[in-house]
Amino acid sequence: MLPIKTHINNLNFLTTKRKNTKMHKSTSGSSLGPDGLDLTQSFFKSILNAAPPSPTKRHNKISVIGAGNVGMAIAQTILTQDLVDELVLVDAIPDKLRGEMLDLQHAAAFLPRTKIQASTDYSVTMGSDLCIVTAGARQINDESRLNLLQRNVNLFKKIIPPLARYSPHCVLLIVSNPVDVLTYIAWKLSGFPSNRVIGSGTNLDSSRFRFLIADHLDVNAQDVQAYIVGEHGDSSVALWSSISVGGVPVLSFLEKQQIAYEKEMLENIHKEVINGAYEVISLKGYTSWAIGYSVASLARTIMRNQRKIHPVSVLAKGFYGIDGGEVFISLPAQLGRGGVLGVTNIHMTEEEMKRLKDSATTILELQNQLGI
């Protein structure tokens, strides 16, 4: 035990140090004390014969680009699920960005320990395992979809290259809309292999689809296996032929039991899926929580290498007869630490296959209008 005089001298040193220096705001994982003064050596003593941490220990890092409603819902959900050691926020508006960072940092006592950083400088994203892009231009009144897309392409030219430069081995997850075309743009701008560029696609559409079916049948949505594929938009395709509940194929069960159903009813459920986001926006002004949970589920599958199947926007050329050009559309894909591990060979009827090809053509025509 140190003499009392020694303790007093140590306290005097710390007090003098505080008077002569300015306290600065720091990230949530930095050392305590003024000017980064490390107090851990005073609080904790190493045990005998201790070795440094293993060099193979992983430090998981996710960067979220865009601190709007969607970006912050994603960040908040990732934090509550204890997915990363470090979470980075990047946005063009410094005051709002700092406010969001501090608001999350102040919840540290209620969350798993995560270092939270924020900056307008993309260098803060260095070494990220996953970069999630939510930033996008807002549509102006009477603005055409093509003009909005062109402005988003110009924005991506400022976002994607620095992300690729600072994190050359990361997985890019695009959430900004129109997500399929912008995922293609991100792939081209990054120079990454196609398996490491993914769009959030119809992952959320499929969740809405499962919810509506579960609601009709009065079962848990987690027991419903159902996919929306193709464009994240009006030309999306509902794969009714492969829907199952508790392992029971729904349509074939109805036919075997000679239970009548109308195709119009099925189409109406699909329309509800397509219009779901529009309804939420008309009521509250924006969507946030559902897309936050959807993207966090993708992040969890990727970061934990869970090899789960999600309907996400992937390079679809060569799958299901799509050979007209390089296009990203949603297909059921197995995801893991390396991004897209493979695309499932799911059963489709001829009508579903045709609709999927038409959906791919819709996106290709939009890309051609952009001249890319």
Q: According to the annotation, is 318 in a ligand binding site? A: no
Strand pairing report for 130-133 and 61-65: parallel
Which residue shows structure tokens 């003098």?
Answer: 16
Q: According to the annotation, is 176 in a ligand binding site? A: yes
Q: According to the annotation, is 154 in a ligand binding site? A: no
Are 251 and 366 in contact, with CB atoms under 8 Å apart?
Answer: no
Spell out the long-range contacts of 97-104 with Cβ–Cβ below 8 A and sequence spacing 24 or more.
97/67, 100/67, 100/72, 100/75, 102/25, 104/75, 104/76, 104/79
Q: According to the annotation, is 20 in a ligand binding site? A: no
Q: According to the annotation, is 49 in a ligand binding site? A: no
Which residue shows structure tokens 């509250």?
Answer: 284
Are 228 and 238 in contact, with CB atoms under 8 Å apart?
Answer: yes
Q: According to the annotation, is 66 in a ligand binding site? A: yes
Would you state the structure tokens that stand for residue 84, as one six-digit string? Answer: 């990363």
Evaluate the CA torsion angle 74, 78, 80, 81 in order and state its sign. positive
Helix (H) or strand (E) holding 55: none
The Cα–Cα gap between 44 and 132 comes to 37
Phi, psi of 360 (to 5 degrees): -65, -40
Question: What SS3 state is found at 242?
Answer: helix
Alpha helices (runs of H) in the chain, residue ranges in sequence order: 4-19, 40-43, 69-80, 94-105, 145-166, 179-190, 203-217, 250-256, 263-284, 289-303, 350-370
Are 232 and 330 in contact, with CB atoms under 8 Å apart?
Answer: yes
DSSP code of 261?
-
Q: According to the annotation, is 71 in a ligand binding site? A: yes
Q: According to the annotation, is 152 in a ligand binding site? A: yes
Residue 101: CB atoms within 10 Å: 23
Which residues make Cβ contacts (< 8 Å) with residue 19, sequence separation at least 6?
none
Q: According to the annotation, is 323 in a ligand binding site? A: no
Q: Catalytic residue numbers?
A: 232
Q: According to the annotation, is 69 in a ligand binding site? A: yes
Residue 61, strand partner residues:
86
Are 332 and 346 in contact, with CB atoms under 8 Å apart?
Answer: yes
**Residue list, annotated binding site for NAD(+):** 66-71, 91, 152, 175-177
**Residue list, annotated binding site:** 66-71, 91, 152, 175-177
